[in-house]
């Protein structure tokens, strides 16, 4: 089977929510006093936007085949990622057969390895990779999940990340994950408030609903260990991303130190099979949480997932909407998915990447039928009425 060759690669930048889901206005739960590694600086304590969490914005990558079919993807990375895509990565994509994703990934990765390997560069590669999968699906008239092995379940079930697990329970989600809002700089009193918040939420949701805590890299090993032990009385299911993603040794020690039954999760800021190999072989966590828009794209996530499967670990991807859903549908070791509550008060379900995607499916009653994903590619369209800006041309 031959496909029309790829004739163009375009990288655009968009502002205002969407794939850069931290790019929100004031008053949104996602920017309200969340504990971060920057919390020790008073000027940057209250708001993550104050230290530039939304500095980059959304990256949109389009790949166009000779017959006019366009695949696209959205992720973060903004203008610097657009530069990398247009000025460096596009040479490995133009003129290629859209089905040759493995070789395109390999060339993008190894050609940029001297300045890449993690972070922004892998973020940019992820955007191109997802756009290639979308293009291939449109050319084959198949959903991505059908091209990577087929769905192993009829529907996805979700836990909700947001400020109101109690409302998430009413909306049918299987669990709720709250952000940690007290940092080590606030001392033992802050930790007690954090534990009290978990206890208060536990009293609202009852004993059997999953409650989790996302620490967004804000803690050190000692604090994280004490917090995990203190939160155990409220049946905290997992403690997420407690430490710096570079501190594999800290995660290894934390996993040994948390109370029996509590899970340690991390990986949303980890990248590639080699990064996740460290987390898995060092037994840093119970669940890995790669973000398909940051870890190297779907091509790399499949490798990461196989590695995790061989280690007996679950893969619950971080956010990322349809780009995660098509993957989760196909893996036995991804039994549920994350849904980011993007309503400012976490009080209703809105599309995760709103307003950038048209036709973005959302869970109903905490569930999503795989039949809703049965459209070519990732099954969504880019809203081209938005202010797409193309800062570089190759
Ligand atoms: Mg997280």
pLDDT tens-digit series, residues 216-253: 999 999 999 999 999 999 999 999 999 999 999 999 99
Residue 266 · residue 255 · CB < 8 Å:
no
Please tell me the predicted confidence (pLDDT) of residue 271.
Answer: 98
Question: Structure tokens of 49?
Answer: 């936007």
Query: What is the longest distance spanned by two Cα atoms in the chain?
Result: 65
CATH of 147-375, one of 3.20.20.120, 3.90.25.10, 3.40.50.920, 3.40.50.300: 3.20.20.120
Q: In a 10 Å sphere around its CB, with 0-12 CB exposed, 13-18 middle and 19+ buried, how is residue 152 labelled?
A: middle
Q: Could you tell me the distance, in angstroms and rounded to a whole number, from the CA of residue 174 to the centre of ligand 1?
A: 17
User: What's the gap in Å between 318 CA and the centre of ligand 1?
Assistant: 7
> Is the domain 6-20+56-141 a CATH 3.30.390.10 member?
yes
The per-residue pLDDT for 393 is 82
Strands 58-65 and 70-76, how do they pair? antiparallel
Interval 359-381: pLDDT, tens: 999 999 999 999 999 999 999 99
Residues whose CB falls within 8 Å of the CB of residue 382, separated by 6 or more in sequence, listed in order: 60, 62, 72, 74, 356, 357, 358
- Give the span between the Cα atoms of 154 and 230, in whole angstroms: 38
Q: Is 145 within any annotated ligand binding site?
A: no
219 C-alpha vs ligand 1 centroid, how far in Å? Answer: 13
**For residue 76, what pLDDT is reported?**
97
Helices marked H in 213-314: 221-231, 248-257, 272-281, 297-310
Residue 106's pLDDT band (cuts 50, 70, 90): very high
> Token pair for residue 346?
């976490």
Neighbours of 339 (CB within 10 A): 27
Question: How far apart are the CA of 378 and the centre of ligand 1, in A?
Answer: 23
Residue 259: the pLDDT is 98
Q: Can you tell me the distance from the alpha carbon of 36 to that of 23, in angstroms, rounded to the nearest whole number?
A: 16
> What is the DSSP secondary structure assignment for residue 109, as one 8-state letter?
H
pLDDT in tens, 133-187: 999 999 999 999 999 999 999 999 999 999 999 999 999 999 999 999 999 999 9
Surrounding ion ligand 1 within 5 Å at CB are 214, 268
Instruction: Please check if 64 is assigned to a binding site.
Output: no
Catalytic residue among 145, 269, 318, 326: 318
Residues 6+ apart with CB under 8 A from 191: 182, 223, 226, 227, 230
Looking up tokens 């939304």 gives 54
Q: pLDDT digit string (tens) for 320-357?
A: 999 999 999 999 999 999 999 999 999 999 999 999 99
Ligand 1 mean position, distance from CA 315 (Å): 13
CA of 139 to the centre of ligand 1 (A): 34
Q: How do the domains of the chain map onto residue ranges?
A: 6-20+56-141, 147-375
Are 178 and 142 contacting, i.e. CB atoms less than 8 angstroms apart? no
Q: What percent of the chain has pLDDT over 70?
A: 100
* pTM for the full predicted model: 0.98
Catalytic residue status for 332: no
Q: What is the pLDDT of residue 394?
A: 66
CA 178 to ligand 1 center in whole angstroms = 9
pLDDT band at 305 (very low <50, low <70, confident <90, very high): very high
CA distance 119 to 257: 29
What would the mean pLDDT of 62-82 be, rounded to a whole number?
Answer: 98
In the prediction, which pLDDT does 297 show? 98
Q: Is 95 exposed, middle or buried (0-12, 13-18, 19+ CB in 10 A)?
A: exposed
Mean pLDDT of the region 273-290: 98
22 is in an annotated binding site: yes
Burial 241-255 (b: 16+ CB within 10 A, else e): bbbbbebbebbbbbb
389 in a known ligand binding site: no
Q: Which residues contact 59 (CB under 8 A, 6 or more apart)?
A: 11, 12, 13, 19, 74, 75, 76, 77, 78, 81, 82, 85, 123, 124, 127
């Amino acid at each position: 089977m031959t496909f029309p060759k790829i004739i163009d690669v375009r990288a655009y930048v968009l502002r205002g929510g969407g794939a850069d889901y931290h790019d929100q206005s004031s008053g949104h739960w996602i920017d309200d006093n969340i504990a971060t590694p920057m919390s020790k600086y008073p000027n940057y304590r209250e708001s993550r936007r104050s230290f530039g969490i939304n500095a980059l914005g959304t990256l949109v990558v389009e790949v166009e085949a000779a017959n006019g079919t366009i695949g696209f993807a959205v992720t973060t990375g903004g203008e610097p990622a657009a530069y990398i895509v247009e000025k460096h990565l596009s040479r490995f994509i133009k003129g290629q057969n859209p089905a040759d994703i493995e070789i395109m990934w390999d060339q993008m990765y190894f050609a940029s390895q001297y300045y890449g390997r993690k972070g922004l560069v892998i973020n940019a590669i992820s955007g191109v990779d997802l756009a290639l999968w979308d293009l291939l699906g449109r050319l084959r008239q198949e959903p991505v999940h059908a091209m990577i092995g087929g769905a192993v379940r009829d529907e996805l079930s979700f836990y909700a990340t947001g400020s109101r697990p109690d409302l998430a329970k009413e909306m049918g989600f299987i669990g709720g994950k709250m952000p940690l809002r007290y940092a080590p700089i606030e001392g033992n009193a802050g930790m007690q408030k954090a534990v009290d918040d978990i206890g208060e939420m536990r009293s609202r949701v009852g004993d059997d609903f999953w409650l989790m805590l996302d620490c967004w890299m804000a803690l050190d090993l000692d604090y994280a260990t004490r917090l995990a032990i203190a939160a155990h009385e409220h049946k905290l299911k997992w403690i997420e991303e407690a430490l710096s993603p570079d501190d594999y040794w800290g995660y290894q020690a934390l996993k040994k130190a948390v109370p029996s039954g509590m899970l340690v999760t991390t990986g949303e800021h980890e990248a590639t099979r080699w990064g996740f190999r460290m987390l898995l072989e060092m037994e840093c966590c119970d669940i890995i949480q790669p973000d398909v828009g940051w870890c190297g794209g779907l091509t790399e996530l499949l490798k990461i997932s196989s590695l995790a499967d061989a280690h007996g670990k679950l893969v619950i991807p971080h956010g990322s909407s349809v780009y995660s859903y098509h993957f989760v549908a196909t893996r036995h070791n991804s039994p549920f998915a994350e849904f980011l509550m993007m309503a400012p008060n976490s009080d209703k379900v809105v599309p995760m990447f709103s307003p950038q995607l048209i036709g973005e499916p959302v869970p109903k009653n905490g569930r999503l039928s795989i039949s809703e994903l049965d459209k070519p590619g990732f099954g969504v369209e880019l809203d081209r009425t938005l202010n797409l800006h193309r800062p570089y041309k190759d």
